[in-house]
Amino acid sequence: MPAFGKVYLIGAGPGAQDLITLRGARLLAEAEVVLYDALVTDEMLELCPQAVKISVGKRCGQRSAAQHFINQQLVECAGKYSMVVRLKGGDPMLFGRADEELSALEAEGIEVEVVPGITTAVAAAAASKQPLTKRGVARSVAFFTSSTAPGHPEDVAIPSTDTLVQYMGGREAIATAQRLLDQGRRPDTPVVVIENVSRPDQRIGRITLAELAHGLDGAQGPVLVMLGEAMKTRLHQPGLGEPAADALPPARQA
């Protein structure tokens, strides 16, 4: 018998249960143990009723499992079970700390397979019906986050692309907007803000960069911010000029 089982790093997608891949759902149904992130929904965990479930969630501003402890748990579970799933929100290879977990498992000679998932930016573009690229307007996209590893500077330059998508952008809205304004982005640059992408409590807000500089009111779940000329609403786009009932409002100006 091998000393270790096999570990699967699976992307759960943005939240909705039916947006996980068929391969991901099949492996969840076969898993013996599932170590899952804070952003993984209860509905997603219904796909693995047979498995031991271990929460290893990491949420900004909240007490959560340290990464080195998660790495250790993965190695320990691989020593106890033949099929281990590490279930991550979105895609494991984008802002998912996959490099650290892969390195820890590879150092022990543990077999690992990565199953991709729909990253939140793509789901947000679909939910808001705002393509991230647009012929003649936007042909480059950058995904970024303000979170950095310990010991690394927080003021890393924001990418210079046509469309910008900031993950975990709610808490950093004011700082990000001000830096972009300082870099020469127009105050009327269109911005789309989406909270809880693909979930029943999803909310979408359409504002400008100048409004984003005042922050966001009322956001409770994870927020993704998309900005650039590609975010401009189309002439006959439904809801143009009228905020939706579930819209995410900008902060009130002082």
pLDDT of residue 111: 98
Assign domain 120-231 to its CATH superfamily: Tetrapyrrole methylase, C-terminal domain (3.30.950.10)
Q: Rounded to whole angstroms, how far apart are CA atoms 68 and 56? A: 11
236 pLDDT band, cuts 50/70/90, is confident
Instruction: Give the residue with greater pLDDT, 61 vs 31.
Output: 31
pLDDT band at residue 171, thresholds of 50, 70 and 90?
Answer: confident
The first and second tokens of residue 222, run together, are 């994870």
Provide CATH 3.30.950.10 ranges for the chain: 120-231
| Catalytically active residues, by annotation | 37, 58
Mean pLDDT of 166-177: 92
Give residues with Cβ within 8 angstroms of 162, minimum separation 6: 133, 137, 138, 139, 140, 141, 228, 229, 230
Query: Which regions of the chain carry the CATH code 3.40.1010.10?
Result: 6-115
What is the helix (H) or strand (E) element at residue 175, kind and residue range?
A: helix 173-182
Average pLDDT score over residue span 21-25: 98
- Give the containing element (helix H, strand E) for 106: helix 98-107
pLDDT in tens, 199-235: 999 999 999 999 999 999 877 789 999 999 999 999 8
As a whole number of angstroms, the distance between CA 121 and CA 81 comes to: 34
The one-letter amino acid code at 143 reads F
Task: Identify the pLDDT of residue 240.
Answer: 45
Mean pLDDT is lowest, of 43-57, 102-116, 154-168, for 154-168
**Predicted pLDDT at 19:** 97
- pLDDT of residue 241 exceeding 60, the answer is no
Reported as type and span, the H/E element at residue 203 is strand 203-208
Confidence of residue 253 (pLDDT cuts 50, 70, 90): very low
**What is the mean pLDDT of the segment spanning 137-159?**
76
Please say if the pLDDT value at position 167 is more than 70.
Answer: yes
Residue 246's contacts (CB-CB under 8 Å, 6 or more residues apart) are: 202, 203, 204
Say which CATH superfamily domain 6-115 falls into. Answer: Tetrapyrrole methylase, N-terminal domain (3.40.1010.10)
Measured CA to CA, the distance from residue 65 to residue 229 in angstroms comes to: 39
CA angle, 124 then 38 then 91, to 5°: 45
The answer on pLDDT for 46 being more than 80 is yes
What percentage of residues in the chain have a pLDDT greater than 90? 76
- Does pLDDT of 254 surpass 90? no
Task: Give the confidence band of 99 by pLDDT, cuts at 50, 70, 90.
Answer: very high
pTM for the structure as a whole: 0.87
Cα–Cα dist 238/79, whole Å: 54
Q: What is the mean pLDDT of the chain?
A: 89
pLDDT at 57: 81
Q: Is the pLDDT of residue 110 over 60?
A: yes
